[in-house]
């Protein structure tokens, strides 16, 4: 049992985990159980007892060790997949391990950063910048001579925004993720760098990469395909396709709210844009994801409201274990990671309460009016939308009123819970120089649910 191993330092504990990943596994079940034990070591143990979580100067070495553990896990996923060991249980356990080690890295980064919080009106660093070990490089990662990130055409960047709806997108499926969006990098003949993506508000677009990386992100991972020629073809194909679609004579590619993998549809959501780029560039030989997200919840009230029709999809976070891609670097702004962690766990609990306890969103007259105004505003010009966005949500022409209402209720339900947790965490860091353990956050949220009874924000329990 991994949990029974006594260690004098957390580095020793990580070494035990790393050795466990190297063992031969005779079955998918044994692999899944081993990965679950590693995850439980992070989830259940009080790792704050280790000096490294209290002594600032020790934090960077531990952060690098944990990142190396993540990279080893990803490397082994490819081996296990070829051996037929990556069962659904093993996939979930591997993703749980990635999430738990990432939270540990965040906490160490926050310690190293002196628990500095970004002001309400502050801006995050541009992705892959920052001087406090914000970017963790894989050993094979490339950098330009000036120390900045070296991108290639076909690179894929996985990101996480700071809003509650970003947390919702990351957690909507059966496997929890910490990422909500993805884009493809394209470098043209003049060396200009572009991001090709599909966003809810505008559909498929092309934007200068430098501006895209400055979009108030909290996390980002740079992925690179093992086949450089295929990656170049994929980037060129999708860039040209989106450019043509947005030309005066093109047909716009709107955002695909259904999240289905139907290749006959013209519309695309962000991950489906990546899927289409690589599928067409390979003449259909490459089809992502290898490990898909399932949307098989019993209570489909929320996903129906936002327009999702799929029961299996390519979620952004599915890239995290994709064997065809290498991670070049991972970045996070430690001034906001604690907030992202709290929002993740709030969303975990909201979806859990919907699924296991039968809570559903209950529209009020206020929400109905907001969603109706938002729906009407979708027919206005882009300039007019921007002028009134502080009053009416900026929504695309193909977004349903029910989706606007669901997102509004989600935000209004999650925000008070987040603020309550944030206040508790700030008190904790002031008094003990340690944040709340994710396990503690879940326990606090359960106590809040028990105290609120049948209604939590806009969520109402059936029969309540």
pLDDT tens readout for residues 250-281: 999 999 999 999 888 899 999 999 999 999 99
Q: Are both 180 and 301 inside the same structural domain? A: yes
* pLDDT, position 383: 64
Do 244 and 314 lie in one domain? The reply is yes
On whether the CB atoms of residues 197 and 184 are closer than 8 A, the answer is yes
Assess whether 420 and 344 both reside in one domain: yes
Nearest CA-CA partner of 20 in 96, 73, 80: 73
Q: Is residue 322 part of a domain?
A: yes
What residues contact residue 8 under an 8 Å CB cut-off, 6+ apart? none
User: Residue 460 pairs with which residues in a beta bridge?
Assistant: 360, 455
Where the chain has pLDDT below 70, the residues are 1-8, 140-148, 378-394, 463-464
127 inside domain: no
Do 294 and 344 fall into the same domain? no
In total, how many domains does the chain have? 3
DSSP state of 126: P
Shared-domain flag, residues 350 and 379:
yes
Residues 214 and 302 both lie in one domain = yes
If asked whether residues 159 and 296 sit together in one domain, one would say: yes
**pLDDT computed for residue 386 by the predictor:** 57
Residue 26 lies in a domain: yes
Could you give the CA distance from residue 360 to residue 103 in angstroms, rounded to a whole number? Answer: 29
Tell me, yes or no, whether 129 lies in a domain.
Answer: no
- If asked whether residues 233 and 273 sit together in one domain, one would say yes
- ∠ CA 114-216-181, nearest 5°, is 115
Domain interval for residue 201 = 135-332
**Residue 6 has what pLDDT?**
38
In a domain, 178, yes or no: yes
Instruction: Give the pLDDT score at 265.
Output: 87
Same domain, 232 and 302: yes
The answer to whether position 8 is within a domain reads yes
Closest C-alpha among 144, 103, 123 to residue 213? 123
| Residues 230, 302 within the same domain | yes
Q: How many CB atoms lie within 10 A of CB 362?
A: 14
Q: Is 286 helix (H, G, I), strand (E, B) or coil?
A: coil
Q: Residues 351, 445: contact at Cβ < 8 Å?
A: no
Q: Are 318 and 352 contained in the same domain?
A: no
Q: Which of 332, 353, 388 is the last residue of a domain?
A: 332
The answer to whether residue 393 sits within a structural domain is yes
Tens of pLDDT, residue by residue over 357-372, are 999 999 999 888 888 8
Asked which of 270, 298, 332 is the last residue of a domain, the reply is: 332
Provide the β-strand partners of residue 455: 460
Domain boundary residue, one of 268, 301, 332:
332
Give a yes or no: residue 118 inside a domain: no
Residue 57 has phi, psi (to 5 degrees) of -65, -20
For position 311, what pLDDT does the model report?
93
Residue 184 sits in a domain whose CATH number is 3.90.1720.10
- Say whether both 309 and 399 belong to one domain: no
The pLDDT, as a whole number, for residue 243 is 98
Record the pTM.
0.93
Residues whose CB falls within 8 Å of the CB of residue 70, separated by 6 or more in sequence, listed in order: 98, 101, 102, 327, 330
């Amino acid at each position: 049992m991994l949990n029974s191993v006594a260690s004098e330092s957390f580095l020793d504990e990580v070494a035990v985990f790393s050795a466990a990943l190297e063992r031969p596994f005779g079955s998918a079940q044994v692999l899944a159980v081993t990965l679950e034990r590693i995850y439980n070591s992070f989830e259940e143990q009080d790792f704050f007892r280790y000096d490294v979580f209290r002594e600032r100067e020790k934090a960077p070495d531990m952060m690098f060790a944990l990142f190396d553990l993540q990279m080893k896990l990803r490397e082994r996923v490819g081996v296990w997949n070829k051996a037929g060991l990556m069962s659904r249980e093993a996939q979930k356990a591997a993703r749980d391990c990635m999430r738990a080690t990432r939270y540990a890295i965040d906490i160490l980064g926050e310690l190293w950063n002196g628990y500095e919080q970004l002001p309400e009106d502050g801006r995050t660093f541009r992705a892959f910048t920052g001087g406090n070990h914000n970017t963790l490089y894989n050993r094979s990662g490339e950098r330009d001579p000036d120390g900045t990130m070296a991108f290639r055409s076909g690179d894929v960047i996985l990101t996480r925004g700071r809003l509650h709806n970003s947390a919702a997108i990351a957690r909507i499926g059966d496997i929890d993720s910490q990422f909500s969006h993805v884009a493809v990098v394209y470098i043209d003949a003049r060396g200009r760098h572009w991001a090709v993506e599909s966003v809810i508000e505008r559909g498929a677009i092309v934007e200068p990469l430098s501006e895209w990386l400055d979009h108030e992100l909290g996390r980002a991972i740079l992925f690179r395909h093992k086949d450089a020629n295929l990656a170049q073809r994929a980037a060129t194909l999708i860039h040209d396709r989106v450019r043509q679609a947005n030309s005066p004579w093109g047909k716009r590619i709107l955002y695909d709210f259904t999240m289905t993998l139907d290749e006959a549809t013209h519309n695309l959501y962000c991950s489906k844009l990546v899927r289409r780029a690589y599928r067409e560039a390979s003449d259909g030989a490459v089809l992502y994801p290898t490990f898909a997200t399932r949307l098989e919840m019993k209570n489909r009230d929320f996903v129906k409201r936002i327009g999702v029709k799929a029961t299996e999809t390519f979620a952004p976070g599915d890239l995290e274990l994709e064997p065809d891609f290498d991670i070049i670097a991972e970045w996070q702004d430690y001034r906001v990671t604690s907030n992202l962690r709290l929002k993740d766990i709030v969303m975990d609990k909201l979806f859990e309460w919907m699924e296991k306890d039968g809570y559903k969103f209950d529209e009020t007259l206020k929400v109905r009016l907001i969603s109706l105004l938002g729906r009407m505003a979708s027919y206005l010009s882009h300039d007019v939308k921007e002028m009134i966005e502080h009053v009416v949500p900026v929504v695309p022409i193909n977004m349903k009123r029910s989706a606007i209402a669901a997102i509004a209720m989600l935000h209004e339900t999650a925000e008070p819970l987040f603020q309550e947790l944030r206040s508790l965490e700030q008190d904790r860091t002031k008094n003990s120089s340690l944040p709340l353990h994710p396990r503690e956050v879940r326990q606090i949220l359960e106590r809040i649910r028990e105290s609120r009874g049948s209604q939590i924000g806009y969520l109402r329990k059936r029969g309540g």
